[in-house]
Amino acid sequence: MQRFSLVLVCVAMTLMAAVAQPTGDDLAGWALAHWGALGSGSAEAVAAGFVPDGGVAFLGTAWDGFYYGSSVVSAWSQFFTGLPVEGHALAGVVRAVAEARLVYGTIELAVPGRTLVIESFLQFAADGKIRAADYVMTAPGAVVPVTDGQIADGEYLRSAQDRGSEVTLYWRNGLVVLFAALQSPGTGWVSAGFDPVNRMQGANYIIAAVTAGGLVVEDHFGSGTTSHRRDRREDILRAAGTVSGGQTVIEFAIPLDSLDAEDKPLVPGRTYTVLLAYHRSSTSLTTLHTARGSVQMTLEE
């Protein structure tokens, strides 16, 4: 009996491990099913794909905000009232990040007399239900983060400048993604280290430079109090950068929770320390900074 019970436990653990690790194809299939429900125009069909305490964030719409749990149905009802969807199509490639259980893609929604373009970022639970979703309206007139290396008026809702280094951090978040930008007073590399534990240790670093060959951007981990190294896994969804007038602008998007042990989960509504640094002219990411400092970043919820 004991041996039989042990076999059952091993089988159960194997099944749990299999369920906990969906593949990229699994994620893409779940996303396509969700977007199919979106194209049906049914709030109930869309909301049925969420876990009970899941949430959705809308950016660039008349009803921008964050909706959780039982409010998800009413949020989608509001969505379809404002945008009577008559169908949908995919625009471009669907990207799945299996390790983060994250899928994103651009959706074209058919509404009376026009087509709307919306970016969708979905993070799934292991069973295929949606834990969180961001919908970013990219239609003309919508002011939302666009990763193009330029900071437009109103693109980010919040910003903070470190007076010592004069590096400025801009940000806007949903429930799945952090959209951020860095502006430095130099032409070299610039970096942000999110949520350090002890000085540099434990921070999730994004470090980037615009070189003659284009943008170089890396995901680093604060390995010590005065050191950092490249992550074993890159968790940067997109990035762009420009240099103009002696200043550098880097824009990037990262998951709020990449499920990577070398990243720090960022929770909407909480405040985090962000370490900022830059070099005046060197684009070598290993060159010591010209100046550094820190700011506080409070995420929307």
List the chain domain ranges: 21-137, 158-298
Q: How many CB atoms lie within 10 A of CB 1?
A: 5
- For residues 233 and 243, the answer to whether their CB atoms sit within 8 Å is no
Cα(256)–Cα(180) distance, integer angstroms: 11
Please report which confidence band the pLDDT of residue 20 belongs to, taking 50, 70 and 90 as the band edges.
Answer: low
Instruction: Name the percent of the chain lying above pLDDT 70.
Output: 93
The pTM of this model reads 0.91
> Does this chain's domain 21-137 share its CATH topology with 158-298?
no
- Give the H/E segment covering residue 244: strand 238-244
The tens digit of pLDDT for each residue in 138-151 reads: 877 778 999 999 99
Instruction: Return the pLDDT at 217.
Output: 98
End-to-end CA separation in angstroms for the chain: 51
The residue type found at 157 is: L
Domain 21-137 has CATH 3.10.450.50: yes
Query: For 8-12, 137-141, 187-191, which range has the lowest pLDDT when averaged over its residues?
Result: 8-12
Query: What is the C-alpha separation between 21 and 259, in angstroms, rounded?
Result: 12
- DSSP run (H or E) holding 89: strand 87-97
CATH topology of domain 158-298: Immunoglobulin-like (2.60.40)
What number is the average pLDDT over the span 221-232?
88
- Residue 80 φ then ψ, to 5°: -75, -20
DSSP secondary structure letters along 131-184? EEEEEEE-STT------SS---TTS-SEEEE-TTT--EEEEEE-SSEEEEEEEE
Token pair of 283, please?
């684009």
Given a cut of 70, whether residue 112 has pLDDT beyond it is yes
Q: Which helix (H) or strand (E) holds 34?
A: helix 24-40
